[in-house]
Chain A
């Protein structure tokens, strides 16, 4: 990096020593495999010899109905999964954060700690907890609905094609509400008291204060939680796998890109795993996530107005 003949300074080896371990591990285990995966998607095993086939794998993915139907199904399901998170998880998270940050509220630390508990549990635990609770065998869910007089609403949601994906999305929302809550809460705490006091002087309190003063000030944080939700959702796998298995039943109605990638890569039932098609799907996920991140960085983040206090 620093060349002794150009800059008349001794080579500062310590910089290299400090950087080397992190850069080496990160490059070898993360960056090279990422690009390796992109590269694999351009190859196909012909008689066990990897052969360069250009974009043939992508043509198969989009052109061959055996692949494209599954792919579009997974992509649409994934989009629905994301929409539910944006419509349910983030508004609930913002509402709780707004309530928590209102001044003079007691037991604040307790609520905060308790509401964050599901977020620290693993997907496996969350998947099974809800599978048991919603199971018609155990009857916890129907009994509780009966208690509020809504028993007729009960259905084995996870087993019905038309409800399973929405039910799983809501389970995931239940688990992750803590993250938008915490980030928005932090943003609201950083709003200076003078701004709030000035608003109160002008008679803006309660809901009006939230809509007119606080919400505009936390918009950058809402942008961040949106992109975090996007990346997390389009990369999700564990919850569906834990609750519904690799086949993402019933009848693939809960199949998202992560489970589709897993099945393609490792094979399932009688179909053999296919690393090249797996890499192709991973590349599509890469493109989708990258597109989302770019939209965020260039279209959203640059237009948001930031206030300096």
Chain B
């Protein structure tokens, strides 16, 4: 009896703490999104109220639409993220396959060399990266960002993918070899489809920091044509700092796409973490 009651109390306490923290985590985000749909007066008078028929106002969104080139920024972010992701996954998987499948001299050294970048942030090389990009004429191009993010994402993706590729059965690959498949075909036809879940995990881990990065867009590609959504929002908000409607709308516009992507992929992300990919 007492044990059951004690455990009930404990469960209630656990829920109370978790609900409290969930509120702390979500409240600021909800507050911004709710207020972005309200008129300026209502934002200040009753910040905690959801928009009603009288206070509903889209003036913030129309300002953002009229003043900022958000569609362009969005396109840039999408191009950079998708292209970097493609190269990280392709090159990362190829290198991971070479490291996990073949024994050759320098295998371990190569693995350590490629793992170095997991701990040392690429940002520390910024001064020389900028010089490199200036010298090769890539400043203010999306190519510069794609190159940097590819390099940044490779170490972790190689590390995670080679762990997974070690689990692909040797018999399957050898059967392919006996059937006369080339090593390339074995990789693309047999191994890649089998590690697709791991690739999805790596994709999520790689995508979030690229989409959210401010440092490299600010330094390598700050021109109007190449601004990413993160940098665009930062500059837009800096200029419109007193126009609360516009600021709140710009913030909401920046939040929503990431949030939607996260809700779609969250299962994958959590499965990836809990399956021991990052131990």
Contacts and interface: CB of A to CB of B under 8 A. Distances in A.
A19 B151 contact: no
Interface in B178-206: 182-184, 187
Most buried by B among A17, A25, A30, A258: A30
Contact of A26 (B25, B155, B255, B279): B155
Contact of B274 (A30, A110, A186, A227): A186
B140 interface: no
B15 to A, nearest CB: 8
Contacts of A95: 17
B211 A37 contact: no
B226 interface: no
Given A22-B92, A34-B128, A124 B266 contact: no
A128 B123 CA distance: 23
Interface string A214-239: 00000001001001000100010110
Which A-B residue pairs are the 8 nearest by beta carbons?
A: A36-B128, A122-B212, A33-B125, A22-B95, A18-B98, A33-B128, A29-B151, A22-B91
A186 B255 contact: no
Most chain B CB neighbours (cut-off 10 Å) among A92, A117, A143, A265 = A117
A22 B94 contact: yes
Interface stretch (B60-68, B167-175, B229-237): B229-237
B126 interface: yes
Nearest to B28: A129
Contact of A117 (B25, B102, B117, B237): B25
Contacts, number: 255
A237 B123 contact: yes
Interface in A248-295: 258, 261, 265-266, 275, 278-279, 282-283, 285-286, 289-290, 293
B231 to A, nearest CB: 8
Given A14-B184, A22-B154, A29-B151, 6 more contacts: A14-B183, A36-B127, A120-B208, A132-B248, A140-B48, A279-B128
A113 B122 CA distance: 29
- Please tell me the size bucket of the interface on B: 35 or more
A99 B18 contact: yes
30 contacts: A15-B104, A19-B98, A22-B114, A26-B114, A26-B151, A29-B132, A30-B117, A32-B132, A33-B126, A33-B132, A34-B128, A113-B266, A113-B270, A115-B21, A121-B212, A122-B258, A124-B233, A124-B254, A132-B244, A138-B244, A140-B47, A140-B48, A143-B47, A143-B48, A177-B25, A186-B273, A190-B276, A237-B215, A238-B215, A283-B124
B277 to A, nearest CB: 9
A22 B233 contact: no
Contacts of B251: 125, 128-129
A238 B14 CA distance: 34
Interface string A174-206: 100100001101100110000000000000001
Nearest to A110: B22
Nearest to A221: B279
Contact of A37 (B90, B124, B182, B230): B124
A122 B120 contact: no
Contact of B94 (A21, A30, A182): A21
Interface in B24-45: 24-26, 28-29, 31-32, 43-44
Where chain B touches its partner, the secondary structure class is helix
B127 A132 contact: no
B129 A29 contact: yes
B243 interface: no
Contacts of A120: 208, 212, 258-259, 262
Contacts of B56: none
A9 B80 CA distance: 42
Interface of A: 1-2, 12, 14-15, 17-19, 21-23, 25-26, 28-37, 39-40, 92, 95-96, 99-100, 102, 104-105, 107, 109-118, 120-125, 128-130, 132-133, 138-140, 143, 174, 177, 182-183, 185-186, 189-190, 206, 221, 224, 227, 231, 235, 237-238, 241-242, 258, 261, 265-266, 275, 278-279, 282-283, 285-286, 289-290, 293
Of listed A37, A100, A107, residue having the most chain B CB within 10 A: A37
B123 A12 contact: no
B127 A278 contact: yes
Interface of B: 10-11, 14-15, 17-18, 21-22, 24-26, 28-29, 31-32, 43-44, 47-48, 87, 90-92, 94-95, 97-99, 102, 104-106, 110, 114, 116-117, 119-129, 131-132, 147-148, 150-152, 154-155, 158, 182-184, 187, 208, 211-215, 219, 230, 233-234, 237, 244, 247-248, 251, 254-255, 258-259, 262-263, 266, 270, 273-274, 276, 278-279
Nearest to B265: A120
B47 A138 contact: yes
A128 B237 contact: yes
Contacts of B214: 122-124, 237-238, 241-242
B255 A121 contact: yes
B121 A231 contact: yes
Interface centre among A14, A115, A123, A285 (most CB of B within 10 A): A14
